[in-house]
Amino acid sequence: MMVPTFNALSGKGLPMKRSLFLFTLISLPVFAVSIKDIDVIYGEDNRQDVVNSHDALMVLASKSTAAMMPAASLRSVGNSFEVLGQTLQSRGMCARERFSQQPSVALCSGFIVKNNLLVTAGHCIKDMTDCSSYKWIFDYKVATSNAKKVNVPKSSVYSCKAIIARTLNPVDQNDYAVIQLDRKVTGRIPLGFRKEGKITVNTAVVVIGHPSGLPTKIADGAKVRKLSNRYFTANLDTYGGNSGSAVLNAKTGLVEGILVRGENDFVPDPQGSGCQVSNMCPSTGCRGEDVTFITGVPKIK
């Protein structure tokens, strides 16, 4: 937390995904997040704004997901906060990139599993300094497809009170954190999650979070590729900022895991414009995105 830049809006876990550009936070305090970048598009880009999703189960689940961002990115406007931040284009993305005119503010994602317990990636919250430095924002989403500003009710903004459990293990790549929020979360239902067994290869999964720091996106069309000891790998369309996102079983709606790391997100524009474009991979190509098994996270059952 020492320099005013951070890699690709930080993202998934170990090893750190290297973005090809740095985001500079303008008019915000000096914060840096040493957390990994996670991003790439597999096959078609399946990211959708909540307002455009027709999956009622996932739209409901999106209400229980939150964005981590600096308190200074919130400006009080009556009973709400306006979310302040640069757009993707102003951060170096090409104008033709999807969502290039939306605010790009969130550093990580998370989701509630109990009244005041939120799960995220271990590399998002390292210590109590991180805990006290950031806010957790529910309802960070656009109201219409072409909206360029986002306002959230003040009641949707929470603080981190304590770190209940956390792991970031470079050996087995286990990566998770459970934090206690400053008060009970109201107006939304804690997400159900798998409590035993493991998801199987080829199961359809959906991720909900904040790719590249953007307002909430729901991305379906992915499947589990392989299983490891602490995590599984899937062809999810995720970016830095998605770290800590809930990855749900598309059929049951249960959380299967936490998005923690993956392929590089952006590459130089092949047209030579000097801006960046999303890294595009075949559905079966590239390394895939890693998801910590939710069954390995303590203190939430």
Cα–Cα distances in angstroms (integers) from residue 51 to residues 58, 147, 282, in the given order: 11, 11, 27
Q: What is the pTM of this model?
A: 0.87
Give the pLDDT of the chain (301 residues) as one tens digit per residue: 222 223 333 344 333 332 322 233 323 333 333 333 445 777 788 899 999 999 999 999 999 999 999 999 999 999 999 999 999 999 899 999 899 999 999 999 999 999 999 999 999 999 999 999 999 999 999 999 888 899 999 999 999 999 999 999 999 999 999 999 999 999 999 999 999 999 999 999 999 999 999 999 999 999 999 999 999 999 998 988 999 999 999 999 999 999 999 877 788 888 888 898 888 788 787 889 999 999 999 999 8
For the chain, domain boundaries? 5-296
Residue 45 · residue 14 · CB < 8 Å:
no
Q: In the CATH hierarchy, which fold is given to the domain comprising 5-296?
A: Thrombin, subunit H (2.40.10)
Which backbone phi and psi does 42 adopt, to 5 degrees?
-105, 115
Residue 242 · residue 36 · CB < 8 Å:
no
CA-closest candidate to residue 168, choices 68, 36, 19, 263: 36
